[in-house]
Structure 1
Amino acid sequence: MRRMLTVCAAVAVAGTVVAAPAMAVAGGEAAGSGAAPWMVTVAFKGDEPLVQRESCGGALIAPDRVATAAHCLDHVDPTHLEVHVGGGTLSEDPGKVVPIKGWSVEPGFRLIPSPVDPQDFEKSSAADDVAVIKLARSVFGVPTLPVARTAPAPGSTVDLFGHGLTQAPDPKNPAAALGDQLKHAQLKVLDDGACAAGLASPGLLDGKSVLCTQGAATVCPGDSGGPLVQNGRLVGIVSFGGETAGKQCGEPTVDGFADAAVARSFLTQPRPPLAPMAAADPVITGTKAAGDTLTCEAPKWTIKPEKTEYAWYYNKVDPANGFEFYLPVEGATTPTLKVTDELAGHKLNCGITASTAGGTILQYSDVF
């Protein structure tokens, strides 16, 4: 589900993500300057334009804390991420970049496989899909978005904000679908019965931690983790949308949000446990000759893991299309790997899965 869900017009779209008109999204609008100063963009570090690196949204709920979706962070190395606070049109106003101290995932977070198609990862929904990002320094002079104490009533209006895709992408021009400008839409809250009826299967709804909306706009890839707001308070966090039913961005659907009021105690706890954080990636040492031994050297940890697991991988090229992918070396679950004649002819890398009460990250070495 690493779904990166933006506000899209609720119209049937052919293909896989189509650009909305340049004007505001149907059922929504371009958010005005300063409309959402607490809006956060979570992006992978890199040299590409921010709009191409944006992965999820979030909201500044305290000067040193961001609320977002658990599926945006689960198993993600925090050193590879950056946080932008207050971004409007990302290409012109990317907001203030703030370093990350770490992140914490709600302990009850879990994916709910689709009863219709349990093997399709993208069709899963989620329960307790909430996480916090602890910032390395406080952000002053920026209004925060308080977390609601009660959920919005069914039938009431809520406001959605997002930088995700604006349509199903056209393979010939994928950039046209990118959500450069912050979008806003008003939606109606559904009761659990209407929500379950609108999903591909009622079994996808965890009624204890999820609230649903429907309207003339919908969430899309890139909007995940973004805020749902009512009366100046955070009431929901974007979790899943029409992809659970195989729908494309912009097709009418029920959208699912983590209920912020239910998660309030987790989001506002004074000292959330943080997932592991390393100073660097793992490094493979040794020589790749048959009979030799390679070692996957763990990095120095700035937040030490309580548990670590190792895995080794070798490359394989699909002769049909030339694609290269990596497969696990069977039984290789320790920091060392005995190089066989067969492995000596492949590219290799190692992975470390590290966990604390705050969550799990997955790190990979460079190819060796």
Structure 2
Amino acid sequence: MKVFLILALAIASASAGILPVHPRDRVAAPSISGRITNGKNAVADQFPYQVGLSFSSSEGGWWCGGSIIAANWVVTAAHCTDGASSVTASFGATVRTSPKFSYTISSSDFIQHKNYLSLTVRNDISLIKTPSISFSAAVNKIALPAISSSYSTYVGQTAIASGWGLTSDSATAVAKNLQFADLTVISNAECKKSFSSLIVTSRVICVASSNAISTCQGDSGGPLALDGTLIGITSFGSPDGCEVGSPAAFTRVTSYLDWIKENSGVEA
């Protein structure tokens, strides 16, 4: 009965136009890679924790982002790993096609949250185990939030999203340079004005996307960072596009600190 209830609620939400779409799944443009809409060019070594993830499956491929959290672990979104057979992970790139090094990793080294539910974007988080990464100025880990910050909402604070997602809703070209954007965290109550409360749970963190600055297709799984700490993983946005001014939503990392520790041994 519970499953049918969730499905019914989700269908009702869809009819009201409030179901989200993952940046990976946008179909307004044929390319699945690109950059953050109306962002800024990153400089070399600015985001050493940023990883480029080129996923492959029997049905094709797609581009996502990720974050280094330890010398052999990357965290990304579950909707990125879902259905993939392998990934080529690129490290230390500012120019997307020129990483310092890359690894091809089988799906057997993916740990996707077992309770990930695409329909309501629940538990949109995965881990990827990598060969040992040598840290440098260009390649390094990002800190996880402290357990003591688990109840912080971050509302009103400015965080930084980065990635190679589309530059606009009509863009088709791949970006040459890594992009970033300063985004203000909003309350979940505010975010629920654009998305169903079935979707915007306490495990989601949202940002405003004023002036058409937002995450977009190709940014999925990438980082939302605050003061050098990973607070969000790019998850979903409005089905109406990246530039419409609706909030962008992220998996709230503080809600998954125990899960990350249990599955990887990594802790703040």
TM (norm. structure 1) is 0.57
Residues 223 and 239 of structure 1, relative CA distance in 2, 3 Å threshold: same
Matched, 1:198 2:199: no
Amino acid paired to 1:231: D
Among 82, 89, 107, which residue is 2:95 paired with? 89
1:69: Cα distance to partner? Answer: 0.1
Instruction: Give, in angstroms, the shift of residue 25 of structure 1.
Output: 5.3
Residue equivalent to 1:4: 24
More helix by share: 2
Which whole-Å deviations, capped at 9, do the CAs of 1:135-174 have from their partners, x for residues lacking one?
A: 033333332101113345211111110111111236xxx3
Could you tell me which amino acid in structure 1 is paired with residue 94 of structure 2? G
Equivalenced residue count is 229
3-state SS of paired residue (1:203): coil
| Matches for 1:74-223 after TM superposition, within 5 Å | 74-78=82-86, 81-91=87-97, 93-100=98-105, 102-112=109-119, 125-141=120-136, 142-149=139-146, 150=149, 151-169=152-170, 174-175=172-173, 178-199=174-195, 201-205=196-200, 207-216=201-210, 217-223=213-219
Relative to its length, the structure with more strand (as a share) is 1
Letter paired with 2:219: D
- Once the two structures are TM-superposed, the CA of residue 128 in structure 1 deviates from its matched residue by 1.2
TM-score by length of 2: 0.76
Question: How far apart are 1:45 and its partner, in Å?
Answer: 6.0
* Bigger relative CO (Cα 8 Å, ≥ 6 apart): 2
The separation in 2 between residues aligned to 1:2 and 1:196, in whole angstroms, is 17
Alignment match, 1:331 = none
Distance 1:25 1:164 in 2: 7
* Aligned counterparts of 1:96 and 1:233: Cα–Cα separation in 2: 24
Deviation at 1:33, TM superposition (A): 1.5
Q: CA deviation at 1:95?
A: 3.6
Aligned to 1:264: 257
Letter in 2 for 1:267: I
Q: Contact conserved, 2:55 with 2:84, CA < 8 A, in 1?
A: no
What's the RMSD between the two structures over aligned residues?
A: 2.8
Which amino acid is the alignment partner of residue 250 of structure 1?
E
| Alpha-carbon contact 2:66-2:222 (below 8 Å) kept | yes
Sort the Cα spacing of 1:2 and 1:240 in 2 relative to 1 into closer, same or farther, 3 A: closer
Query: Cα distance, 1:271 vs. partner?
Result: 4.4
- Tell me, yes or no, if the aligned pair for 1:84 and 1:97 is still in contact at 8 Å: yes
Q: Which residue of 2 aligns with 1:281?
A: none
Structure with larger Rg:
1
Q: How does 1:1-368 map to 2 (within 5 A)?
A: 3-4=23-24, 16-17=28-29, 26=38, 28-44=39-55, 55-78=63-86, 81-91=87-97, 93-100=98-105, 102-112=109-119, 125-141=120-136, 142-149=139-146, 150=149, 151-169=152-170, 174-175=172-173, 178-199=174-195, 201-205=196-200, 207-216=201-210, 217-243=213-239, 247-269=240-262, 271=264
